[in-house]
Amino acid sequence: MKARYSFMLLILLLTSCGESTKKSTEKSEKSEDIPVEFANCFMITHSNDHYILTIQNPDKKDHFELVIGKNSTTKNCDLTIPTNRMVLLSASMIGRAALLKTFDKVIGISDTAFLFNETFRSRASNGMITSFGDEGNFPIEKLIKSDPDIVMFSDFGNEFPKQKELKKMGIILIPDLDWREEHPLGKAEWILVHGLLTGRLKEAQKIFNQIKTDYLQLTARTKPSETRCMSGFLYGDTWWSPSGESYTARLFNDAGIKYVYSKTNGTGSIPRSIEEILYDCKSADIWFNPGFDSKKKILQISSKIKHLESFKKNKVFCYSHNMNYFWEMSAVEPQKVLSDLISIRSGDPVNLYFYKKLN
């Protein structure tokens, strides 16, 4: 595994070195895949003067393809890198941009009020980043006026409003499917897409490789424990828990925690009534992600929660005290989430990144 991994890294380094000199591109004519190890929803192919970015929603037949020219001399391409004006419509995209320090390329986001990153925040307050709101009520004219090259949006199966018209105007809409990735490292790997578009693929690969190394090392050091956890919270009368094959369940497993619903199918969420939750999860040791930052607020929603062992023993953990940080960075830095989970499991929750114990 490790040998294969270094081999690929080598190829990667070689090919990326080759990119910079015109001579070497002329030598190699055939296209090659940029290695994508964990993500299932995108592919990057590389040939002498262009990349092809393919994004495939596993729920859909047709895929999205973008021919990206390496420089202005490339003909017949949709886009030439580096892109300088991007609109990023989800928090995790902003997290990737922050990790890659491509601050000056982001000209618009969903809501500047929910920004975590300091640099982005100060740029937003200086008017260099526009708020667009969510896709349900998207101000198309405002978008056109801000003149972006690229708009990245989370593809939940719906079409982006005025897709065709925007395309005619030369605004490229790129669907983002990181939410659909089942492996935590798969989500993180989407940083390669951001790296590719901003002309910083090499740096992106470097950052991702470090994340991967950290994550895998943590997993290798972690032994399965008898600690059991539950997750999620009530919405109305329905308690939504992540399914057994979901990203969150995977994180619990990698942290050596037995997740109550690990045997359930699917990558989304499973609904349970509160009585079923009490039946299944009463004795769980830890409760993750209730979505509130205090026990009092939880009791306000339902006082029945008090019968959960995890609640009684003060073993409730969530990221809600710093929600913006979590939504921005957790997808791109899963090693930190994993590290949090392992610390919490070990019973010595210090130096937590995202999580905090609820009081």
Q: Footprint of other proteins on this chain (CB under 8 A)?
A: 234-238, 271-276, 278-279, 282, 291-293, 297, 300-304, 307, 323
How many Å apart are CA 241 and CA 342, to the nearest integer?
A: 20
Sign of CA dihedral 281, 182, 292, 225: positive
Neighbours of 1 (CB within 10 A): 6
Q: Which is nearer to other proteins, 208 or 354 (CB)?
A: 354
Q: Which is nearer to other proteins, 32 or 275 (CB)?
A: 275
Q: Which is nearer to other proteins, 52 or 299 (CB)?
A: 299
How many Å apart are CA 232 and CA 242, to the nearest integer?
A: 7
Q: Which is nearer to other proteins, 24 or 324 (CB)?
A: 324
Closest distance to other proteins from the beta carbon of 83 (Å):
32
How many Å apart are CA 9 and CA 205, to the nearest integer?
A: 9
Q: Which is nearer to other proteins, 141 or 237 (CB)?
A: 237
Closest distance to other proteins from the beta carbon of 322 (Å):
13
Q: How many angstroms separate the Cα of 326 from the Cα of each of 175, 177, 295, 332, 342? A: 22, 18, 19, 10, 17
Edge-to-edge order in the sheet of strand 238-242? 233-235, 238-242, 269-273
How many Å apart are CA 157 and CA 177, to the nearest integer?
A: 10
Closest distance to other proteins from the beta carbon of 123 (Å):
23
Q: Which is nearer to other proteins, 145 or 304 (CB)?
A: 304
Closest distance to other proteins from the beta carbon of 48 (Å):
49
Closest distance to other proteins from the beta carbon of 88 (Å):
20
Say how far residue 148 (Cα) sits from the centre of its chain. 22
Closest distance to other proteins from the beta carbon of 302 (Å):
6
Nearest-Å Rg of the Cα atoms of the chain is 22
Picking from 270, 268, 279, the residue whose alpha carbon sits closest to that of residue 238 is 270
